[in-house]
């Protein structure tokens, strides 16, 4: 697929935003000292390779403190992009039993638990990197979501976010969500569409971020863990039996070039995520799958960072959010 043409950007039932306006007067604040830095606590289950710490198993990315910081940056960016909301499903979480798949640092359950103290929230992840402190209504379980689920009591709402390149059998995961929901329960998926584009032609096919996404997508497909499940989610949900399926696309800028403040802040965080995270994206996939030598990876990563700092390039990716309900 040509990442600049991206034919999946339009379709029946998809909600799109208007063209993102470029800030022609603003100062580039992407590299200011005000950029946030995040850390969380870490447990001891891990292995080391390529100078990074990983969870044992099939997950391709690190679980160390720099990666935790990146995941928390993504959380804040998604929160901005969803208009200061943690979810789009038409639910009232109060009193609900909620599951968060691939909870990562646990920031989503913790914030939800604080806002909805009568709910019961369980976060599952391969890595025990969640903080020791959490609201009393939040619990974390170390579990591979592609194995048999240990939780047998059904949920009112299942939240699954940013799991691209982590799942080998998406239809099976969607079906499991259906089976573990109460009748009338809701599921919500959020995934980034990994094909960058621009609305003004400023993103060229030779841009290194475009190349990164193409190469990473190829590597993920090679190991059977696709990087772009978003466009297929609606069909998988229909096949599983879900109804009231609502897909939405949200434009996600990369960098501080948008004029609108919320998009500028989200773009700052997404750019930081990519610039700080490119080593994590390439370390294992480029070495183990593509067999690149370390010096070539280092040079490529620096080229990606350089191109991402170009404020004259008004790059975007789309965020796909799909909500659906299990029939009563």
In a structure prediction context, what are the per-residue pLDDT tens digits for the chain, which is 328 residues long?
Answer: 333 434 343 333 444 557 888 877 754 544 333 333 323 333 446 688 888 888 776 678 888 899 999 999 999 999 999 999 999 999 999 999 999 999 999 999 999 999 999 999 999 998 888 998 999 999 999 999 999 998 889 999 999 999 999 999 999 999 999 999 999 999 999 999 999 999 999 999 999 999 999 999 999 999 999 999 999 999 999 999 999 999 999 999 999 999 999 999 999 999 999 999 999 999 999 999 999 999 999 999 999 999 999 989 999 999 999 999 999 9
List the chain domain ranges. 47-326
Cβ partners under 8 Å of residue 108, min gap 6? 75, 86, 100, 123, 159, 161
3-state secondary structure of 144: coil
pTM of the model: 0.87
Dihedral sign, Cα of residue 9, residue 11, residue 16, residue 19:
positive
pLDDT at 45: 61
Question: How far is it, in rounded angstroms, from Cα 81 to Cα 193?
Answer: 14
Burial class (CB in 10 A: 0-12, 13-18, 19+), 105: buried
Q: In the structure, how many helices (H) and strands (E) does the chain have?
A: 7, 9
- Give the pairing of strands 243-253 and 315-325: antiparallel
Tokens representing residue 306 in the block: 């350089």
Tokens representing residue 137 in the block: 């209504």
pLDDT at 13: 40
Question: How far is it, in rounded angstroms, from Cα 308 to Cα 253?
Answer: 11
pLDDT at 17: 57
HSE (side-chain half, CA atoms, 13 Å) at 68: 21
Tokens representing residue 121 in the block: 């929230």
| 53-90: pLDDT as tens digits | 887 766 788 888 999 999 999 999 999 999 999 999 99
Question: How far is it, in rounded angstroms, from Cα 224 to Cα 169?
Answer: 8
- Give the pairing of strands 243-253 and 181-198: unpaired
Q: What homologous superfamily does CATH list for 47-326? A: Vaccinia Virus protein VP39 (3.40.50.150)
């Amino acid at each position: 697929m040509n990442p600049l043409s991206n034919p999946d950007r339009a379709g029946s039932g998809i909600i799109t935003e208007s063209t993102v306006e470029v800030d022609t007067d603003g100062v580039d604040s992407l590299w200011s000292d005000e950029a946030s830095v995040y850390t969380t606590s870490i447990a001891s289950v891990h292995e080391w390779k390529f100078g990074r710490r990983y969870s044992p198993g099939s997950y391709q990315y690190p679980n160390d403190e720099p990666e935790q910081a990146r995941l928390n940056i993504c959380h804040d960016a998604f929160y901005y992009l969803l208009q200061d909301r943690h979810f789009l499903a038409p639910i009232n979480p109060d009193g609900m039993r909620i599951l968060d798949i691939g909870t990562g640092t646990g920031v989503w359950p913790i914030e939800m638990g604080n806002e909805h103290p009568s709910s019961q929230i369980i976060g599952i992840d391969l890595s025990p990197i969640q903080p020791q402190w959490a609201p009393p209504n939040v619990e974390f379980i170390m579990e591979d979501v592609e194995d048999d689920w240990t939780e047998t009591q059904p949920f009112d709402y299942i939240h699954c976010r940013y799991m691209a390149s982590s799942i080998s059998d998406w239809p099976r995961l969607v079906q499991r969500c259906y089976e573990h929901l109460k009748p009338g329960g809701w599921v919500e998926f959020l995934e980034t569409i990994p094909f960058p584009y621009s609305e003004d032609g400023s993103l060229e096919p030779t841009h290194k971020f475009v190349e990164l996404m193409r190469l990473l997508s190829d590597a993920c497909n090679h190991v059977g863990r696709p990087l772009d499940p978003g466009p297929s989610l609606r069909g998988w949900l229909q096949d599983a039996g879900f109804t009231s399926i609502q897909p939405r696309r949200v434009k996600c800028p990369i960098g501080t070039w948008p004029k609108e403040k919320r998009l500028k802040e989200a773009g700052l965080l997404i750019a930081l995520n990519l610039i700080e995270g490119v080593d994590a994206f390439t370390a294992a996939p480029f070495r183990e799958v593509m067999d690149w030598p370390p010096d070539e990876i280092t040079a490529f990563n620096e080229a990606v960072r350089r191109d991402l700092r170009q404020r004259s390039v008004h790059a975007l990716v789309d965020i796909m959010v799909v909500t659906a309900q299990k029939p009563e």
